[in-house]
Structure formats: structure tokens, C-alpha cells
Amino acid sequence: MTSTPPTRALAELARAYGIATEYWDWCNRHAMVSAETITAVLAAMGISVTTDEQAQEALRSAFLRPWRRRIATFTMARAGTAPWLAVHVPHGEPVTVWVQLEDQEERRELTQVDHWVDPREVDGTLIGEATFSIPADLPIGYHTLHAEVPGQDSVSGHLVVVPNAVPLPGAVANHGAFGLTSQIYSVRSQRSWGIGDFSDLAEMAVWSARTLGADFVLVNPIHAAEPIEPLEPSPYLPTSRRFVNPIYLRVEEIDEVSYLSTEDSSRLAALAAQARGLNRSDIIDRDAAWTAKRAALEIIFRQPRSPRRQASFDDFREAEGQGLEDFATWCVLAEKHGPLPHEWPAEYDGPQAPAVREVAVENADRVMFWMWLQWLLDLQLARIQTECRAAGMSIGMMQDLAVGVHPDGADSWALGDALARGVTVGAPPDAYSQRGQDWSQPPWRPDKLADMAYLPYRDLLRNQLRNSGGLRIDHIIGLFRLWWVPQGCEPIEGTYVRYDHEALIGLLVLEAYRAGAVIVGEDLGTVEPWVRDYLADRGILGTSILWFEVHEDGTPRRAEDYRRLCLASVTTHDLPPTAGYLEGEHIRVRAELDLFTRSLEEELAVDEAQRGRMLQVLRERGLLGPTPEVDTVVEALHRYLSWSPALLMGIAVPDLTGDRRVINQPGTDEEYPNWRLPLAGPDRTPVMLEDLMASPRAKRLAECAGRGRRPL
């Protein structure tokens, strides 16, 4: 892409839509965004400009946009505040404004404020702006605003009152919490069908609570994948974030299995034996595992449900509404035409298309099958959380919310222009991905999301939190700004686009408050300094990775100086397990894949110096002798981390087994087996869940945590 500076008119238009025209890169260098990038990003927002005159006209339209609505589609207020509300009516016309509370039992009139705003001509009509004060004592929740002009229909909008902050559970606030961080598909047991499932997760969670004293288990995103092979291996590139991947179901724990005929039971046993043979592989074969599991689930689906079970299923379908039926219909269409909607016949271009409705009717039983799977997933997830809490966990299961979705997936198809087209989400270059990253996901359009009152975002938060004690938000800085990369461009040719973080964080705080959940934001990478303070004020914990906690000169930060409101860990899924990091696994892999922009010698020197400084700190603090074994260093690092004030401390499950391999290498796709490696030991051979739960190494490492039921 060529790089032409933007004109003044184009730059003003960009800023009006939250598009950055300049930024500071990871080396603290000032960078200007090209006119070509800005134009491409504007086009993704539905704004086509090629001349200054078009830019100026688009800017005028942007300024008039709120004046074209009587009241905003979406208004947010923090509890205890009395913000002003702008109402637009023909100049001089009276208007009555009230709020209907969420429980529908009370109507509250709004009082007009003496605040003059000059009227404006909008589409040939002189429009005035009246200002009203929202009552400070409104209850937390989802309310409806109404504005009525005599002789005209009432116009409504959403009013959401949110808590100021997410309250921490008392046990966590007082004692902190320690837990495991896990890629659950990688933790297989003898009963697994080739991939770790929800029963394996429950076994590991209860064991970690009762034996190790863990208070939570944080899992990878469990969002829905494609209904047919090939399945996308990355849990961070789902087809839908609202719904769940049925590959995680434990087949034998579905109630109807007990009532299968002898013939069906035999078929089920054969499929189970076939799938369990996959447990011996050193690569996770999702396609083979799902082929066997889907066939088994189809057998069980045909078994009649008891009236009680059917009533539960019916209630679930009613609660999930049209969104569930749309997702299930997409699955049926994907089975018939492949998983890429852009290759489908044109008449299937969205869930409201008449041809799509016909497919749903004609294939009602198959649509029911895909909805039934989501119900089963909900039941098994609820059981996991119940068992976690019964085992003594103060938090329980923590889910993980991915940044976005597959560009050709169910959410992309169902949400239409709420997602921007022609651009993808990524990250600018940084120390660990010096070429930048392109995650191939379509971003939310800030304007369309607001027009939809953020309902799709709210719905996915509710589904994530319903059966969880906590939620990790991957790349939470994306709720403030996201790096948009025009299609066909390198990641470095992108730019930041800002979002209404007050709305996005406010809804997150409200849903977490109602669920009684802890929220952790992954706030690594290039972060504006004020963002972390803002998140802390809202009760959202940050993320601290030991290797990244350094001063500007590269010296390690004292553990005692870490943030209190954070989840601290030694490693993360984008780095090797700790033993692998100590042995330079991340350097070896990135060198083989040609991911460096500096010479290998320079990278080796920088890495050796960083690790050397950390080891020296451990020696100075009395945690290491002069020539320790790798396992001893791993334990010392975790004990050092336990001295931090961080409320949450996580231990990666691969560290419990001595694994060395990187789960995911950022900046790669098929060049590396990302998200396909099972849990392994120091010799890189697979380790089963039963072996993990009998491991003395796991118990020794857990003793280093010093959180939760152990005093800080």
C-alpha cells in the first residue's frame, strides 16, 4: 500500500469516527497513519470518500447524526449519578420524557434542565435540543426511556444504569485466590474421546481444589466451532462467541444414554473405543474426535426425553430466543453448503432472509439437534461450577472471552453490518511479534453496535457468565481501541479505532455484578497508561506476567511492587511453559519460523540477559543456589511470584508436568501446530489427566502459590 499523508478534511473525518491518524509504536516512536489506511477503514464503516468535498459532507452528516433521533438508542448512567439527556424535537415543540423501570412496575418522569442549545437545521427542519436530568436514584438495571411530542408517537431508547465497579467476593478480597490456567482440550484422560472435555475439566478442578487448595480454574475460550470438519484449531477464532463448542461434551454423562437400546448402546461403545484410540496421538485431532462424538450425539438425540427433561430443554430454548435458532439454522446451512457463507447461494445472506426461514422449517429436526447440543452444554457447564464451589473454590470456573470471531462464521453471518467488512483485527508490532499480527477477525463497528444498543455484546457476556465464577477478557484493551488492518495490507499498515469504552466496560461491570463474577482483563501489549487505572477503578483485575514485569532498563520489578488488582502468573499461552522458556524454546521456534526482525545473535543475547537478570534476583532473594536444576528454578519463580500483592495467582497446567512446548506461536498459522499439542511431560510425550493428578511435581509447585486458603 502506498503511504500518502491525509488531508486536513480526511483527518477531521477520521477523528470524528474515532480513527487514529497518528500513534506511538512499541519503540515509543511517533507514527503517522496514511490516507490510504484511513480511507479503507472509513469504507469498512460504510463511508466512501475519495475527495475532500466528500469528506466534508460526511463530516457534516456525522455531526447531525444524533440530531436526527429524538433520543439516543442507548444511554448509560453510573449508579448514583444524574447525567443529562439530550432530546431532539422540532424547535419550540414541547416534549415529555420518562423512564420505565426494568421491572415494568414503575414509571419515573424526567425533569427538564434549564440549558440553552442553539437549534440546527436538519434535513430542512429546524430542530431544537431539550435537556433532561436522569434521576440519580434509579436502580441498577436495564430500563426504557420514552420521549413523546404531542400528536406524535412516543420514541423509546435503552437506558442502562450500571454499578461503579465490580465487587470482589469477600474471600478473594481478603485472602486472594490461587488457581490453574488450562487449555482444557489438551488435558486428556483415559475416558476422553481424543480431546479433553467438560468431565475432564471437572475432575481436574475438583482435584485441584481438594488436593492443591486451588480457588479457580481458568480455561481457554470454549466458544462454538464449525459444525463440520475441518474444525478451526484456535479457540480464539470461533464461529460464535455466544455459543459453546459441543466437542467438549462428555457423551456418557447425558441422561438419555442410560435408556438407549442394546443396539444403540453397542454402537455408542464402538464409537467411544474408536475415539479413545486418539488419546495415544501426540497431536490433537479435533476432526476425528468430533466425527465420532457427533455420530454418538445423533444416536442419543433420537432417544425420547422424559417430560421433566423436555421441559428443561423448552425453557432453555425460550430463554435463548431467536439467537439460538439462528445459530442452529446456520449450523444446518453449513452442513448442507459448507462452513463458508460467502460461498452459499445468495438467498441465504442472513438469518432474516425468506429462504433461510424456509430452511429452518424444512429442517426443523436438525435445527432442534443443534439447539439440543447447546442445552446439554449449558447443563454440563452448570454442573462443573456447582462441583467447583462444593469442593471449596471461592471462584470456581473462569471462562475466557476471545477478541472476535471467524470472518465466515455464524456470528459474522447473523450480525450483518454490526461487524466491519474489508478490515480485520490485529495488533501493531511489539517486542514479541515484531512484524505485527493479523488475527483475521472482523471488528465490531462502533456506530452499528451503539445503534443495536449493544445487545449482541450483552448477550454474549450473559452466556459467558451464566455458569462461571469469573471471566477473563482477552485483549481487554480492545474495548477501548482496536487495531484495524485493511484487507490485503500488512499489520503495520493498520491503525487504531476507538470504541465507547464507558458503554462496553459498563455493560461488563453490570453483567459481572449480577453474576457475582470476578473479571480479569488481559491488558498486555501496547496499552495507554490511563487504561489500567480506569479498569482498576471499575473493579476489573489486570494481568501480570513475570517475564514482562520489568523496568525500562530491563531489570525485573520487585514482586512486592506488582499490582494488587491483577492475575499474576509466570507464563501465558503465547509463551512456552516456564521450563521451556528457561531453555529458550521461544527463541528456537521463532528462529525456525523466521519471525525475527533482528538477528538471531541479538535475540539470543537479549533473551539470555533477561533470564540472567531474573535468575540473579532469585539468588539475591535466597531462592536459588549457584547451579540449580530447571525444576528448581521453576519452583523458585513461582515462590517469588507469590510474594507479590496480586490478588490472583495462576499456575499454568503445563508447568505442573514440566512441559516445554509452546501452545501457540503468535504470528503463525499452519507453520506451527498451534492449539493442537496435548499436555506433555519434560520428554515431550503426552501426559494423561490421571498422571497429572498423581504428580508430586504438581503438589510441590502448588505449595509455592501462597494464595486463597493459604495466608498472603
Give pLDDT, residue 634.
Answer: 97
Question: Is residue 61 domain-shared with residue 85, that is, in the same domain?
Answer: no
Amino acid, res. 456: P
The count of structural domains within the chain is 2
Residue pLDDT, tens place only, 241-274: 999 999 999 999 999 999 999 999 999 999 999 9
Who wins on pLDDT, 384 or 706?
384
The answer to the question of residue 97 being in a domain is: yes
| pLDDT band with cut points at 50, 70 and 90 for residue 527 | confident
Give pLDDT, residue 471.
Answer: 98
Segment 218-234 shows an average pLDDT of 97
Domain boundary among 65, 89, 108: 65
What DSSP string describes 633-677? Answer: HHHHHHHHHHTS--SEEEEEHHHHHT--S-S--TT-STTTTTT-P
Beta strands 396-401; 155-162: pairing state: unpaired
Angle at 535 between CA 534 and CA 538, to 5 degrees: 90
Place of cell 474426535: 289
Place of cell 442419543: 300
Q: Could you give the residue ranges of the DSSP H alpha helices within 176-281?
A: 198-207, 262-276
Residue pLDDT, tens place only, 121-146: 999 999 999 999 999 999 999 999 99
| pLDDT band with cut points at 50, 70 and 90 for residue 1 | low
The answer to the question of residue 16 being in a domain is: yes
- In the predicted model, is pLDDT for residue 655 greater than 50? yes
Residues 6+ apart with CB under 8 A from 156: 71, 144, 145, 146, 147
Give the Cα separation of 473 and 223 in Å (integer). Answer: 13
Please check whether residue 509 is in contact with residue 515, taking contact to mean a CB–CB distance below 8 angstroms: no
Place of cell 421433566: 308
- In the predicted model, is pLDDT for residue 286 greater than 90? yes
Residues 6+ apart with CB under 8 A from 398: 179, 216, 217, 218, 219, 468, 469, 470, 471, 472, 518, 520
CATH number of the structural domain spanning residue 116? 2.60.40.10
Please check whether residue 682 is in contact with residue 658, taking contact to mean a CB–CB distance below 8 angstroms: yes
Residues 6+ apart with CB under 8 A from 254: 297, 300, 376
Question: Is residue 86 domain-shared with residue 41, that is, in the same domain?
Answer: no
Q: Which of 55, 67, 57 is nearest to 19 (CA)?
A: 55
Average pLDDT score, the chain: 95
Domain boundary among 133, 162, 191: 162
Q: Which residues pair with 648 in a beta bridge?
A: 177, 567
The answer to the question of residue 297 being in a domain is: no
Give pLDDT, residue 43.
Answer: 97
130 three-state secondary structure: strand
Amino acid, res. 205: A
Name the packing angle between helices 501-515 and 455-465 (round to 10°): 30
- In the predicted model, is pLDDT for residue 627 greater than 90? no
Please check whether residue 420 is in contact with residue 449, taking contact to mean a CB–CB distance below 8 angstroms: no
The answer to the question of residue 110 being in a domain is: yes
Give the Cα separation of 295 and 267 in Å (integer). Answer: 9
- As to burial, measured by CB atoms within 10 angstroms (0-12 exposed, 13-18 middle, 19+ buried), residue 610 is middle
- In the predicted model, is pLDDT for residue 712 greater than 50? no
Question: Is residue 93 domain-shared with residue 157, that is, in the same domain?
Answer: yes
546 three-state secondary structure: helix
Q: Which of 514, 446, 454 is nearest to 484 (CA)?
A: 446
Please check whether residue 300 is in contact with residue 373, taking contact to mean a CB–CB distance below 8 angstroms: no
Residue pLDDT, tens place only, 2-32: 789 999 999 999 999 999 999 988 778 888 9
Residue pLDDT, tens place only, 381-433: 999 999 999 999 999 999 999 999 999 999 999 999 999 999 999 988 876 67
Please check whether residue 404 is in contact with residue 424, taking contact to mean a CB–CB distance below 8 angstroms: no
Least confident stretch, 22-26, 299-303, 339-343, 372-376: 22-26
Segment 200-208 shows an average pLDDT of 98
The answer to the question of residue 13 being in a domain is: yes
Q: Residue 439's Cα: distance from chain center in Å?
A: 13
Cell digits of residue 695: 504428580
Please check whether residue 5 is in contact with residue 32, taking contact to mean a CB–CB distance below 8 angstroms: yes
Question: Is residue 20 domain-shared with residue 54, that is, in the same domain?
Answer: yes
Residue pLDDT, tens place only, 151-165: 888 999 999 999 999
Name the packing angle between helices 600-620 and 585-592 (round to 10°): 170
Residues 6+ apart with CB under 8 A from 108: 98, 99, 101, 135, 138
Helices (H) and strands (E) counted in the chain, each on its own, are: 22, 25
Angle at 72 between CA 66 and CA 75, to 5 degrees: 130
Q: What is the DSSP letter of 188?
A: -
277 three-state secondary structure: helix
User: Long-range pairs for 324-328 at CB < 8 Å and ≥24 separation?
Assistant: 324/243, 324/371, 324/374, 325/360, 325/367, 325/371, 326/351, 326/410, 326/414, 327/224, 327/240, 327/242, 327/243, 327/370, 327/374, 327/410, 327/414, 328/367, 328/368, 328/369, 328/370, 328/371, 328/374
Please check whether residue 168 is in contact with residue 646, taking contact to mean a CB–CB distance below 8 angstroms: no
User: Long-range pairs for 414-418 at CB < 8 Å and ≥24 separation?
Assistant: 414/323, 414/326, 414/327, 414/330, 414/350, 414/351, 415/456, 416/350, 417/46, 417/445, 417/448, 418/444, 418/445, 418/448, 418/449, 418/452, 418/456
Who wins on pLDDT, 90 or 27?
90
Q: Which residues pair with 107 in a beta bridge?
A: 100
Give the Cα separation of 680 and 186 in Å (integer). Answer: 9
13: domain range?
8-65
The answer to the question of residue 314 being in a domain is: no
Give pLDDT, residue 37.
Answer: 96
The answer to the question of residue 148 being in a domain is: yes
Question: Is residue 129 domain-shared with residue 87, that is, in the same domain?
Answer: yes
Segment 212-223 shows an average pLDDT of 97
Please check whether residue 597 is in contact with residue 434, taking contact to mean a CB–CB distance below 8 angstroms: yes
User: What does the longest C-alpha to C-alpha distance in the chain come to?
Assistant: 86
Question: Is residue 36 domain-shared with residue 86, that is, in the same domain?
Answer: no
The answer to the question of residue 527 being in a domain is: no
Angle at 591 between CA 589 and CA 593, to 5 degrees: 70
Q: Which of 339, 405, 447, 480 is nearest to 44 (CA)?
A: 447
Question: Is residue 58 domain-shared with residue 95, that is, in the same domain?
Answer: no
Q: What percent of the chain stands above pLDDT 70?
A: 99
Please check whether residue 224 is in contact with residue 240, taking contact to mean a CB–CB distance below 8 angstroms: yes
Residue pLDDT, tens place only, 94-122: 999 999 999 988 999 999 999 999 999 99
Place of cell 515484531: 434
Domain boundary among 123, 142, 162: 162
- Burial readout 426-435 (b: 16 or more C-beta within 10 A, e: otherwise): bbbbbebbbb
Give pLDDT, residue 581.
Answer: 95
Question: Is residue 105 domain-shared with residue 155, that is, in the same domain?
Answer: yes
Using CA of residue 635, residue 637, residue 643, residue 645, what is the dihedral sign? Answer: negative
Give the Cα separation of 472 and 220 in Å (integer). Answer: 9
Question: Is residue 117 domain-shared with residue 152, that is, in the same domain?
Answer: yes
Question: Is residue 55 domain-shared with residue 86, that is, in the same domain?
Answer: no
Question: Is residue 46 domain-shared with residue 119, that is, in the same domain?
Answer: no
Segment 315-334 shows an average pLDDT of 98
Question: Is residue 46 domain-shared with residue 114, that is, in the same domain?
Answer: no
Give the Cα separation of 671 and 590 in Å (integer). Answer: 11
Residue 287 half-sphere exposure, CB side, CA atoms within 13 Å? 6
Cell digits of residue 401: 472471552
